[in-house]
RNA sequence: GCUGGUGUAGCUCAGUCGGUAGAGCGGCGCAUUCGUAAUGCGUAGGUCGUAGGUUCAAGUCCUAUCACCAGCACCA
């Protein structure tokens, strides 16, 4: 006999080898039917596997997230079977459950297109209707390799070969269809249900490695029932309306165009927003003891070689050959060879300049001017640094991933024993500022040493340890991102989420023992000896472009008054009151309010609709009544109706709301 | 960079079998002067991303290229 402890703490006795399914039915008929799998001592296993000892047992049903994840995983298997039935010769690889659904990666010569989705979905429904039981078998390595080799499943063979020697190979069958899988699985395909939809097909590298073959990944979404599925699809539609690229155009914030791919054309309204954000940051960091600098765009190759960028980052840098243009013109005007190329008289003397991709080496140059003492530390040097990086074409994305960006960058030069206090202060400042922008949920990761890196392992040991300790000291919880650090040091990453749930790294703090060494920065310590400062590279917003992109999606374009490019529009009821309307506009302008007038001979309903669509915080309608009493009829964005208030009263209210957070 | 898709008026999009390029919104003009999410009428906008090719004829078919979209890889 074994003793089973249920989640409510009650204990029951069963014969040894009883299954999760048996337990579910022994508790109740309905639970038995609803059971999908069973959690035994925190490990989820199939319902029909025997339980051989005393254990904590929980029956997994669709009510739990774990149950939902199970049907998503099984939907992937069902899709794989469907695809192989419909498209013989397609090889299967891996297919996990993910947030909102699943994907499965296939190898097939011909591409899948969305027009294949209907057929695949229908076949999936057929398989689900067949309600094939999932059965688990344990095979020997040799048998498994032979089986998949015979089937021509090279990718599966590779997976098996790479599994640890002592790992038990579990094979799952759903009807006739066989797959290598760790499990667990549902009792049968019928449990997957019908609330699923194939979403998109895209390429994905085998094992995430760009040197290996590209597979075809089909994504699907799966929910408990049709209602949940519809709700999710509706959510996606709504999210589309928040897309910063769409709002950027609708609200006349910025545009992008082919001739400057990856660089933003900021329009007056967008630039107003940008400047608000920039000035806010400037105020905040100034209060936090930073000094602001500005450094060159073009810097000689020599400095980048010293810093290590030339070695480790060159593929992302825009590099310019510094030739004498007058010579070039002379050559072009006199020569008939048509070469029109820069022919340098002496190739040995050619200089190369790089447009800066980062500000750090330049900041070290400022640090190195004159001598520094321990009394100067920590020296917090900030710059709204305009950086260019030649990002791969496929990486560009609206204003979130661009080739020209402005970082709210700073480098804190400090001593080793200041790392923890500086990190703590930085994290506090970052969280405060994010909160002012309305972000409460921030994902935190610590990224450790990458393969391509500068500095010794000892240095990295020290840096990683220091950063983790400092972050722990701030009380933030974080995930580790192994191998994702910068080439000069490990980093803390702060991630924000866009409208459709993609996360973007914004803030960062990177601990660097390498650059001060390479660029020979030093200060005189209390002991009178020379010491290396530590550099903390840090950004709060990350890049203004990306952050503003996120900000647009976060507020769906309806900015709080302090950020709104246009804070109020004065709209006259009829042209008879244009004089008064203009007077109101002038008064508001005098009070520093960003206000526009709408004196067109349109109906007030038309004007209200238009400015509402532009998400202007306040629409002030003025007509006869308002003129008589020196008031305005205020319509607040997001609410119906209006409130008549004295102009002074309105000014007091909006001025208060327009204040930048302190 | 890779895989797939898309590119037609300022915007959103239609354009069948290859046969003289269309709608709605917006713009402009005129009328209207109106009290909280679209007033009416009229009118002007296009080298169909770019470059080649096939064809009597190309928005439509083919090739190349650029940009964008989704995902992957890379990254703030």
- For residue A452, which nucleotide's C1' is closest to its Cα? B74
pLDDT in tens, A94-144: 999 999 999 999 999 888 988 899 999 999 999 999 999 999 999 999 999
Residues of A forming the active site: 360, 389, 407, 409, 411, 491, 537
Which nucleotide's C1' sits nearest to the alpha carbon of A219? B71
A616 CA to B71 C1', in Å? 35
Q: Quickly give A398 CA vs B20 C1' distance in Å.
A: 39
- Asked if pLDDT for residue A346 goes beyond 70, the answer is no
What pLDDT sits at residue A489? 84
pLDDT at A348: 61
CA–C1' A606–B12 (A): 20
Taking the stretch 396-415 of protein chain A, residues with Cβ within 7 Å of any atom in nucleic acid chain B are 396-398, 400-403, 405, 407
By percentage, how much of chain A surpasses pLDDT 90? 81
A262: CB within 7 A of chain B nucleic strand:
yes
Q: Are A400 and A546 in contact (CB under 8 A)?
A: yes
Element (H, E) at A89: none
Which residue gives the smallest C-alpha to C1' distance to B49?
A: A258
Q: A626 and A632 in contact (C-beta within 8 Å)?
A: yes
A520 class by beta-carbon count within 10 Å (0-12 exposed, 13-18 middle, 19+ buried) = exposed
Question: Which tens digit of pLDDT belongs to each residue from A158-172?
Answer: 999 998 888 889 999
Nearest protein residue to nucleotide B4, judged by CA and C1' positions: A202
Whether the CB of A164 is less than 7 Å away from nucleic strand B comes out as no
Tens of pLDDT along A629-642?
A: 999 999 999 999 99
List the A246 CA – B47 C1' distance (angstroms): 28
Nucleotide nearest to A493 (CA to C1'): B76
**From CA A156, how far away is CA A550, in angstroms rounded?**
40
- pLDDT of A552 above 50: yes
Chain-wide mean pLDDT for chain A?
92
DSSP, res A373: B
Q: Does the CB of A641 sit below 7 A from strand B?
A: yes
Beta bridge partners of A102: A97, A220
- Token pair, residue A131, equals 């309600």
Which parts of A513-617 are beta strand (E)?
A: 523-524, 530-531, 534-543, 568-572, 595-598
Reported as a pLDDT band with limits 50, 70 and 90, residue A499 is confident
**In this structure, how many other beta carbons lie within 10 angstroms of the beta carbon of residue A353?**
19
- The pair phi, psi for residue A533, each rounded to 5°, is -75, 160
Weakest mean pLDDT among A251-265, A345-359, A483-497: A345-359
Residues 570-609 of A with CB under 7 A from strand B: 573-576, 601-606, 608-609
Judge contact between A601 and A575, C-beta under 8 A.
yes
Whether nucleic acid strand B comes within 7 Å of the CB of A72, the answer is no
Chain B bases closer than 7 A to any CB of the protein? 1-5, 11-12, 31-39, 66-76
How far lies A411's CA from each of A81, A407, A555, in Å? 54, 12, 30
Position A533 scores a pLDDT of: 96
pLDDT of residue A402: 96
pLDDT digits (tens, 9 = 90+) for A301-332: 999 999 999 998 999 999 998 876 555 555 45
The three-state secondary structure class of A201 is strand
The SS3 call for residue A16 is: coil
Q: Is the CB atom of residue A301 positioned under 7 angstroms from any atom of strand B?
A: no
pLDDT for the residue A457:
86
The 3-state DSSP class for residue A202 equals strand
Q: Measured in angstroms, what separates residue A395's CA from nucleotide B75's C1'?
A: 8
* A53 CA, B36 C1': Å apart: 72
The DSSP output letter for A238 is H
Rounded to whole angstroms, the distance from the CA of residue A627 to the C1' of nucleotide B43 is 37
The pLDDT of A646-656, averaged and rounded, is 98
Given a cut of 50, whether residue A154 has pLDDT beyond it is yes
Report residues 458-517 of A contacting strand B, contact meaning Cβ closer than 7 Å.
484, 486, 493, 500, 502, 504-506, 508
Q: Give the pLDDT confidence score for residue A103 in this predicted structure.
A: 97
Nucleotide nearest to A210 (CA to C1'): B73
How confident is the model over A538-550, as a mean pLDDT? 97
Which nucleotide has its C1' atom closest to residue A393's CA?
B1
For A291 and B54, how far is CA from C1' in angstroms? 66
């Amino acid at each position: 006999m074994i003793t089973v402890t249920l989640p409510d703490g009650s204990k029951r006795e069963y014969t040894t080898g009883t299954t999760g399914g048996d337990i579910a039915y022994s508790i109740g008929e309905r639970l038995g039917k609803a059971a999908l799998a069973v959690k035994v001592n925190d490990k989820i296993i199939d319902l029909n596997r025997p339980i051989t000892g005393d254990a904590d047992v929980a029956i997994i049903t669709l009510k739990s997230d774990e149950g939902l994840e199970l049907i998503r995983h099984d939907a992937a298997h069902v899709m794989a079977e469907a695809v192989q039935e419909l498209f013989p010769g397609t090889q299967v690889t891996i297919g996990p459950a993910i947030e909102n659904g699943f994907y499965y990666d296939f190898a097939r010569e011909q591409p899948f297109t969305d027009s294949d989705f209907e057929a695949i979905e229908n076949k999936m429904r057929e398989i689900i209707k067949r309600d094939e039981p999932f059965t688990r078998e344990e095979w020997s390595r040799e048998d498994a390799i032979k089986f998949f080799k015979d089937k021509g499943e090279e990718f599966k063979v590779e997976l098996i070969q790479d599994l640890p020697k002592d790992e038990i190979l579990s094979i799952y069958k759903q009807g006739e269809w066989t797959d290598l899988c760790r499990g667990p699985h549902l009792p049968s395909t019928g449990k997957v249900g019908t609330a699923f939809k194939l979403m998109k097909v895209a390429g994905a590298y085998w094992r995430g490695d760009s040197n290996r073959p590209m597979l075809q990944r089909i994504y699907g979404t799966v929910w408990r029932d049709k209602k949940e599925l519809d709700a999710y699809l509706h959510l996606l539609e709504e999210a589309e309306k928040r897309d910063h690229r769409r709002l950027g155009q609708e609200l006349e914030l910025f545009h992008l165009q082919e001739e400057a791919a990856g660089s933003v054309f900021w329009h007056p309204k967008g630039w107003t927003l940008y400047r608000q954000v920039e000035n806010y940051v400037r105020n905040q960091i100034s209060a936090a003891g930073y000094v602001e600098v500005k450094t060159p765009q073009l810097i000689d190759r020599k400095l980048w070689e010293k810093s290590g960028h030339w070695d480790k980052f060159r593929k992302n840098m825009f590099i310019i050959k510094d030739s004498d243009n007058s010579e070039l013109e002379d050559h072009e005007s006199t020569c008939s060879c048509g070469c029109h190329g820069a022919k340098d008289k002496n190739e040995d003397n050619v200089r190369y300049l790089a447009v800066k991709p980062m500000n750090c080496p330049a900041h070290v140059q400022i640090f190195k001017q004159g001598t520094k003492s321990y009394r100067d530390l920590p020296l917090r040097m900030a710059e709204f640094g305009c950086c260019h990086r030649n990002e791969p074409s496929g990486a560009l994305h609206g204003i979130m991933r661009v080739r020209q960006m402005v970082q709210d960058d700073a480098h804190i030069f400090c001593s080793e024993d200041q790392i923890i206090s500086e990190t703590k202060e930085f994290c506090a400042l970052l969280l405060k500022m994010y909160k002012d922008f309305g972000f409460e949920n921030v994902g935190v990761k610590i990224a450790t040493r990458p393969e391509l890196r500068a500095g010794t392992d000892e240095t990295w040991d020290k840096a990683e340890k220091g950063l983790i300790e400092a972050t722990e000291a701030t009380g933030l919880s974080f995930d580790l991102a192994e191998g994702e650090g910068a080439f000069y040091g490990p980093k803390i990453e702060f991630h924000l989420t866009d409208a459709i749930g993609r996360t973007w790294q914004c803030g960062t703090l990177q601990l660097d023992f390498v650059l001060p060494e390479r660029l020979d920065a030093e200060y005189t310590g209390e002991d009178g000896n020379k010491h290396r400062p530590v550099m903390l590279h840090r950004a709060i917003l990350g890049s203004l472009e990306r952050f503003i992109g996120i900000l647009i999606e976060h507020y769906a374009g309806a900015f709080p008054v302090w950020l709104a490019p246009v804070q109020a529009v004065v709209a006259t009821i009829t042209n008879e009151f244009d004089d008064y309307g203009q007077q109101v506009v002038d008064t508001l302008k005098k009070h520093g309010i960003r206000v526009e007038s709408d004196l067109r001979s349109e109906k007030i309903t038309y004007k209200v609709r238009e400015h509402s669509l532009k998400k202007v915080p306040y629409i002030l309608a003025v007509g006869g009544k308002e003129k008589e009493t020196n008031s305005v009829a205020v319509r607040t964005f997001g609410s119906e109706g209006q409130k008549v208030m004295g102009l002074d009263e309105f000014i007091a209210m909006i001025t208060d709301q327009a204040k930048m957070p302190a």
